[in-house]
Structure 1
Amino acid sequence: MRTFFRYLSLVLLLTCAMVFAGCGNASPTGEEKEIVLAAGRDLSPGEKDPYYSTVILKTWESLVGISDDGKVMPMLAESWESNAEKTEWIFHLKKGVKFHDGVSFDAHAVCENFYRVTHMGYKPSSFYGYLVSRIYPGLVRYEADDDYTLHLYFERPVPMLIYRMAGWGSAMFSPASFDRETGDFTKIAAGTGPFQIIDRKADDYTLLSRFDGYHGEKAKAKRIRIRVITSAEARYSAMRSGEVQGVLDLGGLTPMMVRELMRTGDFSVDSAHSTISHYLSVNGGRFPFSDERMRRALDLAIDREKIVKYYFAGFGTPTRSFLNSTNPFSRPEPPVYDPAEAKALAREVLGDARCEVKFLLPQYGAERYPYKVISEFLQAELKDLGLDVKIVMVDGLTSRKMMKEGDYDLAIGTRGLGNLDPTSLLREFFHSDGATNLASHFCYANPKIDAAFDALTHTYEIEDRQVLYHEIREELLLHPAVIPLLEDENLAVCSKKITGYHAAVYGITLDKVAWKE
Structure 2
Amino acid sequence: MRILNSRSTRALTAAIAVGLIATGCASERKEGDKGGAKDTFVFGAPGDPASLDPALASDGETFRVTRQAFEALLEHESGGSKLVGGLAEKWSSNPEGTVWTFNLRKGVKFHDGETFDAKAVCANYDYWFNWKGTYQSSAVSYYWQTIMGGFKANEDKETPKANYKSCTAKDDSTAVIEVYEPSANLPGGFSLNALAIHSPKAIQEYAKQQVTEAGDAITYPKYSQEAGTVAGTGPYKITKWNKGNKEVALERFDDYWGEKAKIKNLVFRTIDTEEGRRQALQAGDIDGYDLVAPADIKTLEGEGFNVPTRDVFNLLYLGMTQEANPALKKPAVRQAIAHAVDRENIVKTQLPEGGKVATQFMPDTVAGYSDKVKQYPFDTAKSKQLLASAGESKLAVDFCYPTEVTRPYMPAPQDIFELVKADLEKAGIKVNPKPKKWNPDYVDAVEKGGCALHMLGWTGDFNDGYNFIGTWFAGYDKQWGFKDDKVFNAVKAGSLQGDPTKRTDLYKAANEAIMEYLPGLPLTSSPPAIAFGKNVNPPKVSPLTQENFAEVSFK
| Structure 2 equivalent of residue 450 of structure 1 | 488
| Structure 1 equivalent of residue 173 of structure 2 | 148
Which stretch has the larger CA shift, 276-285 or 304-313?
A: 276-285
| Aligned equivalent of 2:43, options 20, 37, 46 | 37
Name the SS for the 1:387 alignment partner.
coil
Q: Whole-Å Cα distance in 2 between the matches of residues 406 and 192 of structure 1?
A: 37
**1:298 CA drift (Å):** 4.1
Name the SS for the 2:307 alignment partner.
strand
**Aligned counterparts, 1:256-405, within 5 A:** 256-258=295-297, 260-262=299-301, 265-273=303-311, 275-282=313-320, 284=322, 289-314=328-353, 316-324=355-363, 330=369, 338-339=377-378, 343-344=381-382, 346-350=384-388, 354-358=393-397, 360-364=399-403, 369-382=411-424, 386-395=427-436, 397=441
Q: Considering only CA atoms, is the larger Rg found in Structure 1 or Structure 2?
A: 1
Q: Whole-Å Cα distance in 2 between the matches of residues 200 and 26 of structure 1?
A: 17
**1:28 CA drift (Å):** 2.2
Call closer, same or farther: CA 1:126–1:290 in 2, change over 3 Å: closer
Name the SS for the 2:311 alignment partner.
strand
Q: Is the 8 A contact 1:98 1:214 kept in 2?
A: yes
**1:150 CA drift (Å):** 0.9
Q: Is the 8 A contact 2:99 2:176 kept in 1?
A: yes
Q: Deviations over 1:431-467 (max 9, x none)?
A: 56333222xxxx463x432332464575444443333
| Structure 2 equivalent of residue 506 of structure 1 | 545
**Is it true that 1:105 corresponds to 2:108 in the alignment?**
no
| Structure 2 equivalent of residue 64 of structure 1 | 74
Q: Deviations over 1:326-353 (max 9, x none)?
A: 655557999967445x634642542799
Q: Deviations over 1:457-513 (max 9, x none)?
A: 754444433332221101223332211111233321122121224532224341221
**Is it true that 1:54 corresponds to 2:25 in the alignment?**
no
AA matched with 1:192 = T
Q: Deviations over 1:21-64 (max 9, x none)?
A: xxx99952565432222223334733696479625552111101
Which stretch has the larger CA shift, 348-357 or 274-283?
A: 348-357
**Aligned counterparts, 1:404-483, within 5 A:** 408=452, 410-417=453-460, 423=466, 426=469, 429-430=472-473, 433-438=476-481, 443=482, 445=484, 447-453=485-491, 455=493, 459-483=497-521
Which stretch has the larger CA shift, 78-87 or 128-137?
A: 128-137
Q: Percent identity?
A: 23
Q: Whole-Å Cα distance in 2 between the matches of residues 268 and 164 of structure 1?
A: 32
| Structure 1 equivalent of residue 212 of structure 2 | none
Call closer, same or farther: CA 1:401–1:171 in 2, change over 3 Å: closer
Q: Whole-Å Cα distance in 1 between the matches of residues 83 and 163 of structure 2?
A: 22
**1:318 CA drift (Å):** 2.3
AA matched with 1:207 = A
**Is it true that 1:210 corresponds to 2:252 in the alignment?**
yes
Q: Deviations over 1:381-426 (max 9, x none)?
A: 4566x32443514225489769978874x43233344566654763
**Aligned counterparts, 1:160-179, within 5 A:** 160-179=185-204
**1:149 CA drift (Å):** 1.1
Q: Is the 8 A contact 1:159 1:462 kept in 2?
A: no
AA matched with 1:360 = F
Using structure 1 for the length normalisation, give the TM-score. Answer: 0.77
Unaligned runs of at least 5 residues, structure 2? 1-29, 149-161, 210-222
| Count of aligned positions | 481
Using structure 2 for the length normalisation, give the TM-score. Answer: 0.73
**Is it true that 1:222 corresponds to 2:264 in the alignment?**
yes
| Structure 2 equivalent of residue 74 of structure 1 | 85
Call closer, same or farther: CA 1:389–1:489 in 2, change over 3 Å: farther
| Structure 2 equivalent of residue 5 of structure 1 | none
Call closer, same or farther: CA 1:412–1:130 in 2, change over 3 Å: closer
Call closer, same or farther: CA 1:183–1:160 in 2, change over 3 Å: farther
**1:290 CA drift (Å):** 4.4
**1:196 CA drift (Å):** 2.3
